[in-house]
Amino acid sequence: MREGSVDMRILHVAEATFAGVGRHVIDLSRAQSEAGHEVVVLYGTRRESDRFRRARERNHLVHWRSLDVGRAPDRSDLKAVQTVRALARGFRPDVIHGHSAKGGMLARSAPRGPWVVAYTPHAVYSMNPELGKRARGGVDLVERGLSARTDIVIAVSPEEETHLRLMGIEQTKIVMIPNGIPPLARADPQLVRRALGLPLDRPVIGFVGRIDDQKAPHTLLDVFKRIAVARAEVDFVVVGDGKLREALQERAGISPSLAGRIHLVGEQPGPWAMSGMDVLLLPSRYEGMPYVLIEAAHLGLPMVVTRAAGSNLLQDGPSSIQLADVGDVRGLADACVELVDLWPDRLPGQPDRRFTLDGMAELTELAYRGEPIDLRRPDQTAEAVPAVAGEPVAELIDPSDDDVDMPTGPVPTLPQSMHHRISF
């Protein structure tokens, strides 16, 4: 590895170029290139989101190389492996860093060389409680085998770190580095509510994320229905899209208790939309460390989440977070009701800005260099710089953040329907 604090050559490999994995790759590669490192990202095109595409097109500091590869194994994998190996030989990186299962496999297909091989699972797949014993054992077997070709396995939460250890990954290879984001500030809640068609005079409980099996949308709707029966003055909003959106919309449409009270608003900038909520509900079956929780913590938004949702790091902070078991409709609903019963008085919780993008990038560089990371050490912790307060805030994320599209111009209307570090 090159001497000095900069001038590494870093090769990222990612097939999953959407949602949290895509955001992580965009943010980390940009932070590393801005720190003076030479960064190449080998990215999959089949599942590339519009946000990922726009972000990479605007980021000219990073070198982007496309890769025609999908999540499921197929004949394109051989060409992808050849591409990774050729790029490793030609670029001669100091670090090859794979992201998610397929990107991790491809990164570890490179020939052994002088480079460090890092892997971030972003919620290793065997954490999925829906997997059968045989499938989970198969995933763990593959991961243990690939770990022999891995120098660093980066967990993004204590839950994932524990799971990796129980899988049989060597403890000395595992390092825990939480996701991080730029500083946020809360937008005007009334402006957000008007834009999304939400009521101004009653509490709103919301969800932000992909509408797919991992996020448990059927549990989400059951929780909403239980709350709606118990509290007639509460509305609900679902921010996001996904393969189960139509099914969710159909179920919501035939629920008398939710008539006129649930709003499916599609994809919106998460922090902006959360500024119009009073409580965030995340009933996920499993997670690594979801960005939506970090954003809610930065905004000081009370949260109700499952114990599988990467929440351990937030429990010791100033944010308000209540937990229930996966699939516990009653527990999730009761926790939400307890919070909305405090409305319109100030709900519990203060902004928690410990998890920063610069902190994540710095700790990742330390891991690359083989330096020990102890998140309790004072020299590896410091508060993030908060967003400027006292002024109306229209942008919830640094406007230079290419992975986020902020509303501009008139408020839209929708139909009714490296020196910020992490401190602990």
Instruction: Judge contact between 31 and 10, C-beta under 8 A.
Output: no
Beta bridge partners of 41: 12, 64
Domain boundaries, the chain: 9-176, 189-340
Q: In whole angstroms, give the CA distance from residue 367 to residue 379.
A: 15
Residue spans of the chain under pLDDT 50: 4, 377-424
pLDDT (0 to 100) of residue 127:
87
CATH annotation of 189-340? 3.40.50.2000
pLDDT confidence of residue 2: 56
Q: Find the Cα–Cα–Cα–Cα dihedral 395, 398, 400, 406, rounded to 10°.
A: -30
**Cα 13 to the center of its chain, rounded Å:** 18
Q: In CATH, what number does 9-176 get?
A: 3.40.50.2000
> Rounded to an integer, what is the distance from CA 197 to the centroid of its chain?
26
**pLDDT given at position 413:** 37
Q: Phi/psi of residue 59, each to 5°?
A: -100, 100
Q: What is the pLDDT of residues 381-413, one digit of tens each?
A: 434 444 433 333 333 333 333 333 333 333 333
Task: Return d(Cα 142, Cα 162) in angstroms, integer.
Answer: 18
Answer whether 9-176 and 189-340 agree in fold: yes
* C-alpha closest to that of 411 among 182, 152, 191: 191
Q: State the maximum Cα–Cα separation within the chain, in Å, rounded to a whole number.
A: 66
Sequence-distant (≥ 6) Cβ neighbours of residue 282 within 8 angstroms: 207, 209, 215, 290, 292, 293, 303, 304, 305, 306, 309
pLDDT for residue 398: 34
DSSP characters over 82-107:
HHHHHHHHHH--SEEEEEHHHHHHHH
What is the reported pTM?
A: 0.81
Residue 260 CA to residue 257 CA, distance in Å, equals 9
Say if residues 213 and 287 touch (Cβ distance below 8 Å): no
What is the reported pLDDT for 131? Answer: 84
Residue 383, Cβ neighbours under 10 Å: how many? 13
Can you give the length of the chain in residues?
424
